[in-house]
Amino acid sequence: MEIPKNYNPEKTEEKIYSRWEKSGFFNPDTCIKKGKTSTKSPHFSIILPPPNVTGVLHTGHAMGITVEDILIRFYRMRGYRTLWLPGTDHAAIATQSKVESIIQKKEKKNRHDLGREEFLKRVNEFANESHDTIVSQVKKLGASVDWSREAYTLDKKRNIAVNTAFKILYDLGLIYRKIRIVNWDPKGQTTVSDDEVDYKEEEGMLYTFYYDKNFPIPIATTRPETKLGDTAVAVNPKDKRYEKYIGKVFQVNFLGEKLSIKIVGDEVVDKDFGTGALGVTPAHSHTDWEIAERHDLEVKQVINEYAKIDIPDSKLSNMKTKDARNFIVEKLKEKNLLIKEEPIKQSVARAERTSGVIEPLPKLQWFVDVNKEFPFPHSSLSFVEKNEKVTLKKLMQLAIKGKHITITPSRFEKTYFHWIDNLRDWCISRQIWFGHRIPAWYKNEEIFVGENPPEKSGWEQDPDTLDTWFSSALWTFSTLGWPEKTEDLKNYHPTTVLNTGYDILFFWVARMILMTTTVFGDVPFKQVYIHGLVRDEKGRKMSKSLGNSLDPIEVAKQYGTDALRMSLIIGAAPGNDTRMPESKMKAQKHFANKVWNASRFVLSVLPEEKEDLGKIINSEISLIKKDALCVKKFESHIKEVTKEIESLRLYMAAEKVYHYFWHTFADVIIEERKDRIYSGDKEDSLSAVSTIYRLLTDQLKIIHPFMPFLTEELWSLLPSYEENLLIVEKWPHNQ
C-alpha cells in the first residue's frame, strides 16, 4: 500500500467520523451487543455540559469537549460501559435577547409587536438552526458522544422533569412566591440571578453630605438619587460617635422630599468606611433590604423598572437615574449640604447578557429557599438520613465536605464553600417568554401548582418563565429519563465526572448538587474536573473587542483537529488558564506529521513473507535481550500514562505520549534499529521490526484519546486491520 508522505486531516477527519458513527460504538448498548464490554462492567458516564443555542462553539467549549472525549475514549478502551450523552441549552435570556435584536434590526419591531406565539416561533427557528451548527462543530472536534440519546433543555421530556421538580420543591416548602429585592435588568426588562450579573470596575464619585441642616449625621454614597428612598441610617452599635442617636427618628426635608429617618445600630456597618454611617435604602440595595428586615423598616421604592425616578408630584419624577444624580448633587451644593465629592473606583453590576446596569428593586417573584429546614424525603443518600432536618445549603456543603463529590483541583473547594456560605435565596422567575413556563396557576387569590390547572375554568397560568439554570440543574438525571425509572438511570447515574470551567463552578455545579440530592435523592456526579480559560499568547482573555478570539473550527481546518486538541491539553493543568499561541498549534501539527511519518516507516519495513508478517502481527517473534528490555521499559511508560489519565492529569499524560513518541521512539528506538533492519541477519532484523511494530501499535492506542483521527487512520493501514476500529480496541496492558 502506498502511504502518502504527509498526513492530510482535511481528507481524513470527516471520513473517520462517519466510520465511527456507522459503527454504533458511541452507543454503549452497541458495545455490549458486540462484546466490547458487558452489563457487568463498571460504568463511566459524562453528561455533556450543554452549549447554548446562541451561535457557535468557542475555545472554552473546545477545551471541555477535548477533556471529556479523552476520558470517554480512554475508559471505552478499558472496557467500561461508557456513556457520553450530548445536548444543548436553550439559554433563555441569551437566546431571546439575540432574536429580539435581530427582529429589531431587520423589522424595527419588538416581541410585543409580534405577540407571544409568533415571537416564540421565531426564537425556536433560530434555536433549531443554531443547534444544527453546534452539532456539526461538536462532530468536527471528534466528540464520541452518543447522538441517539441527545437532549435539549427545553424539549418535552425536560419540560416534564422541570414541572415535576418544581412541584416537589414547592410541596417541600422550598419554593415560595413573595415580594423581595431582586436584580432587575432595565434593558432586558427581567429579573436576573446573582450569577447572571457581571461586576465591572468603573469610575465613579463618592458624595458625602447631610440630608438637611438639622440632621446630625453625614452619610456617603455613590448614588445620591437612591437616597430619596431612605428610611433609616445604620451605624455600628460600637461606634461612640453615634451611639446616642440609635433608636431616634428624625423628620428631614431632603431637597423638598420629606423623609422619616430612623437611626439603627447594625454590625454590618463598617465604622471606618466613609462617615461610618449608612443611608438605608431598602428598596434599592440587597444589603439595605436585609438591614430593613432585621429592624422592621419601611420599604419605599423611588426607582421604577425603566431606571427612572418614580415619585408622584416631584420635580425628579420620570427623570433617568443618572440625570437625577446630577440634579441632586447640584442642589446639595446650592444648599451647602455637600461636604465633599471624591473620585472612586466602584464595582458596577451589569446584566451579563444585555450589559444593562442592574437596579435592585422589590418585586413579586418566585424563589428557592436555601436556608429553610425541611425533612429530607429520600433514604438513598448516604450522608443524610430520611426525615433528617436539613437545608439546601447544608446538602450542598455535605456533598463536598464528606468527599461524596471531589473537586479537582481541590483548591476550588474553599471558593465553593465561601460561595455557599454567602448564598441568598435563588430568584427563579424571569419576565421573558422563551423558556419553561412556571407551572403555577392563579384564580383570584388561589394558587395551584402543577403541570395542568384544575378542570374548573377561570385559571390563568403565570406568564413568567423559569431561570435557565433551573432546568440545567436537573441535567444529569433528566437526560437519563427521570421522572421515569429508566434503565439508563439505573446504569449510568450518578455520572462519573462533570467537566466545567471555574467560571461556572458555583451557579451550575452547586445547583446541580442542590437539585439532584433534594429531588432525585443522589449526588449528580462523583467528581468535578475544573479546567481553566483559554487565553491568547499574551495571556489575555479572548474577546471580540480585543480581536484575539480563536475560532476552534477554523483552527482545526488550518492545523487539524488532533493538533488543536493537543494544543488545548498540553500545558493545561486542572484549574489553570492556558495560552494558545500559533507556535503551539504549529508544533502539534508537526507532531501529527511525526507520528504519521514514523508509522509510515514502520509499516514500510514489515516483511512481505506472510509467515513472518503473521508472527510480527501476533507478537510471536522471540526478541533479543536488548529489544525485550526496550519493550519492558515501554510497558512502564504505558502504566505512567494510564495513571496520569486516571488521576485526571491529562496534560501530563499528553506530554508523556508526545515526548516518548518523538524523542524516544522516533529519534532513538527506530534510529538505533535501522541498521539492524537492513543488516541481512534475519533473526536480528525480525526482532528489531517486531519491537518497533509492537511499540507503534500500542502507542497508537495510548495516543488515540488525544489524537483520535490521526491514530484511527493509521490503525486502518495496519496489516492486521479487518474493520476493527481503534476506538474499541483494548487499552494495552489493561490494569
Chain position carrying cell 489519565: 645
- Domain harbouring 487, CATH code: 3.40.50.620
700 and 656 in one domain? Answer: yes
Q: Is the same domain home to 291 and 379?
A: no
Q: What is the pLDDT of residues 41-53, one digit of tens each?
A: 999 999 999 888 8
Q: Do 132 and 100 share a structural domain?
A: yes
Percent of the chain predicted with pLDDT > 70: 98
pLDDT of the residue at 537: 78
Under 8 Å between Cβ of 221 and 344: no
Is 274 a domain residue? yes
pLDDT at residue 288 in the model: 96
Domain extent, residue 591, equals: 1-41+581-735
567 assigned to some structural domain: no
As a whole number, mean pLDDT of residues 250-266 equals 95
Whether 507 shows a pLDDT value over 90: the answer reads no
**Confidence class for position 734, pLDDT limits 50, 70, 90:** low
Query: Inter-axis angle of helices 682-703 and 582-604, to 10 degrees?
Result: 140
Number of domains composing the chain: 4
- The predicted pLDDT at position 1 comes to 63
Same domain membership, residue 725 and residue 652: yes
Residue-averaged pLDDT of the chain: 93
Residue 636 has, within 13 A of its CA and on its CB side, a CA count of: 5
- Which of these three, 363, 391, 416, is where a domain ends? 363
Question: What confidence tens digit (pLDDT) does each residue in 603-633 have?
Answer: 999 999 999 999 999 999 999 999 999 999 9
Beta strands 406-408 and 525-531: pairing type?
Answer: parallel
Residue 107, CA distances (Å) to 110, 114, 187, 316, 541 in order = 9, 11, 19, 35, 35
24 plus 66 within the same structural domain = no
Predicted local distance difference test score (pLDDT) of residue 355:
87
For residue 312, what pLDDT is reported? Answer: 87
Query: What's the confidence (pLDDT) of residue 532?
Result: 85
**Is residue 562, in this structure, part of any structural domain at all?**
no
* Domain-embedded: residue 553: yes
Is 15 found in the same domain as 111?
Answer: no
Q: Do 222 and 283 sit in the same domain of this protein?
A: yes
Same domain as 431, residue 291: no
667/585 same-domain check: yes
Domain termination residue (choose one: 541, 557, 573): 557
Residue 565 lies in a domain: no
Does one domain contain both 593 and 701?
Answer: yes
**Local confidence band at 543 (pLDDT 50, 70, 90 cut-offs):** low
Q: Is residue 2 part of a domain?
A: yes
Confidence at 274, pLDDT banded by 50, 70, 90 = confident
Predicted confidence band of residue 453 (pLDDT cuts 50, 70, 90): confident
Q: What is the mean pLDDT of residues 491-498?
A: 97
Domain assignment present for residue 569? The answer is: no
Percent of the chain with pLDDT over 90: 82
Grade residue 544 by pLDDT with cuts at 50, 70 and 90.
Answer: low
Query: Per residue in 359-388, pLDDT tens?
Result: 999 999 999 999 999 999 999 999 999 999
Domain boundary among 316, 339, 363: 363
Mean predicted confidence (pLDDT) in 61-69:
94
With beta carbons less than 8 A apart as the criterion, state whether 697 and 711 touch.
no
Secondary structure class of 193 (helix, strand, coil): coil
This prediction's pTM: 0.90
For residue 205, the domain's CATH number is 3.90.740.10
Q: Is 566 part of any domain? A: no
Decide if pLDDT at 735 tops 60: no
Q: What is the pLDDT of residues 291-306, one digit of tens each?
A: 999 999 999 999 999 9
Could you give the 3-state DSSP secondary structure of residue 185?
strand
Are residues 163 and 221 both part of a single domain?
no
Q: Of 55 and 663, which is predicted with more confidence? A: 663
| Residue 626 sits in the same domain as residue 727 | yes
**Residue 567 CB contacts under 8 Å (≥ 6 apart), including other chains:** 555, 559, 580, 584, 585, 587, 588
CATH number at residue 25: 1.10.730.10
